[in-house]
Amino acid sequence: MRLIDKLQHAIANNLDLNAFHIEGKDYSYTDFALHISKIRNAIQATIPQSEKLIGLVTNNDIETYASILALWFEGKAYIPINPAIPYSRNEQILKQTKSLYLLNSSDEIITFKGSTTIATRNLLATAINLVPKDYTESEYAYILFTSGSTGTPKGVPISFSNLNGFMAELDRDPSYNLEATDRCLQMFELTFDFSVATYLTPLLYGASIYTLPKGSIKYFSVYKLLVTHKLTVLAMVPSVLDLLRPYFNEIVATQVKHSIFCGGKLHEDVIKEWQKCIPNATILNYYGPTECTVFSGYYAYDSDGKTKGKNGVISIGKPFANLDYLLIDENNTIIEENEKEGELCIAGNQVTDGYWQDNQKNEKSFFISKIDGENKRFYKSGDLCLRDSEGDYMYLDRIDFQIKIGGYRVELGEIEYAISKFIANKSIIASDFLTKNNTTEIGVVITGKQENTTVEIINYLKKSLPSYMVPSTIIFVAELPLNLNGKIDRKQIQKILAT
């Protein structure tokens, strides 16, 4: 069954159940269906059939989520526009997609030159209509924009067919099964593709979605929702655990069924402690670039101490059944041996058909390779990984974080790991940075109270690392700088080290 049909039936079959809990208010699937239908009416009345790519201002309210489904049932794609990011960047995005229409639920008026805004709040009530319009699977469901190295945001279009592939994989997997009784955390901006998993999966099973209140301190709110509403499914980026870690001894959440992670390195020492807070949950470490539709595979954490990993980072496991992984070296040659590091490349039905109107980038990022006698199109992830003899993949770092110092190739993760052996229970980020004299050096940022002198740490590292890998600077900070998605802000870290 197509994802869209499944959504239609899931909503229609669960009308009495609770769909969303947003800013302290509950919304049933009936409420949700009514909002979807009203917004569909407005779309039909205003937007021509031929207009497919529609901007969506991402507010934390029922209308915004209903707008996504309304657009999908109308066979259109959403382009998330986050009002918290600079106006000029949003303007660039809408210009690139040539979107003539924008849906906005907030009272705050946002206008962009050349596009008409449809206010989705206070629309006239209408009968429930969840029947999807005709559309083709190759049409887009959403386009997400990520920061491009050239300064222009680059668009990643995901088709309905890509989404179908992704949902089929989650459906097939018994270790991540949701039920209508589940209460699921949704802590992500809709501009971050992990959000697709956290709003879409619960909707398909009639479960309820708990979003973080606007402007709140994220990890406090996560905890508050967890204890107040006894959440059963937690999808988080690993950095949330770093912030909650000093309070783990206060957290007992036996009702949690699934604790899933994506979007960063998951460290085994944190998970070992976190597991005691959620003793009955399965812990899954998902991996996936936006270009391959949210997740492309995962590794199930094994509390018996047999967890695989590298440099203290938990493995990312195997690809989904419909996807292929392979590793290539710097010359784009496929690496056949195990335990050898290379760039992870992914092929299959979840891979985007290419960056939005960027042939130059597409030529660099995709290639065709013959696998089992079949030509397959691979996406180069930019992630440095290695594969063990059982076919599990270990995440090492971004290729960009594999830096060269004095001609030596250095993996920053290895430095972080060496320090974690000396200083326990802290978040440690190693980075290259440019000194005032324009030389590249290695620096380290560590969270929390300083308990050892920099000299002590450096002396320890001198015993375990080659001298070119020993950092020149170590700085202690209260907490790591994070970007809008809750991921560690590497550029900010380089700035901290440079000053």
Binding residues for another protein, rule: CB under 8 A, are 215-218, 220-221, 223-224, 227, 243-244, 247, 250-251, 449, 478-479
Q: Which residue, 215 or 407, is less far from another protein as judged by CB? A: 215
Nearer to another protein, 174 or 215 (CB): 215
Give the separation between CA 166 and CA 184, rounded to whole angstroms: 19
CA contacts within 13 A on the Cβ side of 477: 19
Neighbours of 250 (CB within 10 A): 10
Tokens of 185: 């955390």
Rounded to a whole number of angstroms, the minimum distance from the CB of residue 211 to another protein is: 16
Give the nearest distance from C-beta 499 to another protein in angstroms: 16
Residue 491 beta carbon to another protein: minimum distance, rounded to whole angstroms: 16
Nearer to another protein, 246 or 391 (CB): 246
393 φ/ψ angles, rounded to the nearest 5 degrees: -100, 140
Find the shortest distance in angstroms from Cβ 255 to another protein: 18
Q: Give least dist CB 277 to another protein, A.
A: 11
Nearer to another protein, 131 or 217 (CB): 217
Nearest distance from C-beta of residue 478 to another protein, angstroms? 5
Cβ–Cβ < 8 Å for 62, 30: no
298: β partners: 286, 318
Nearer residue to another protein within complex by CB, 361 or 490: 490
Q: How far apart are CA 182 and CA 17, in angstroms?
A: 11
Query: Quick one: 244 or 445, whose CB is closer to another protein?
Result: 244
Minimum distance from CB of 413 to another protein (Å)?
Answer: 26
CB of 492 to another protein, least distance (A): 11
Phi, psi of 24 (to 5 degrees): 80, 0
- The single-letter DSSP state of residue 47 is S
The residue length of the chain stands at: 499
Closest CA to 483 of 43, 188, 59: 188
In the bound complex, what is the minimum distance in angstroms from residue 221's beta carbon to another protein?
A: 8
Taking the C-alpha atoms of residue 70 and residue 88, their distance in angstroms, rounded to an integer, is 27
Q: What is the CA radius of gyration of the chain?
A: 23
What is the C-alpha separation between 222 and 234, in angstroms, rounded?
Answer: 9
User: Are 283 and 273 spatial neighbours (Cβ–Cβ below 8 Å)?
Assistant: no
For 152-187, the DSSP string reads S-EEEEEEHHHHHHHHHHHHH-GGG---TT-EEEE-
Can you tell me the distance from the alpha carbon of 213 to that of 230, in angstroms, rounded to the nearest whole number? Answer: 16
Q: In the complex with another protein, which residue's Cβ is closer, 135 or 220? A: 220
Q: Are strands 53-57 and 393-398 parallel, antiparallel or unpaired?
A: unpaired
The residue (of 375 and 499) whose beta carbon lies closer to another protein is 499
Residue nearer to another protein on the CB measure, 81 or 225:
225
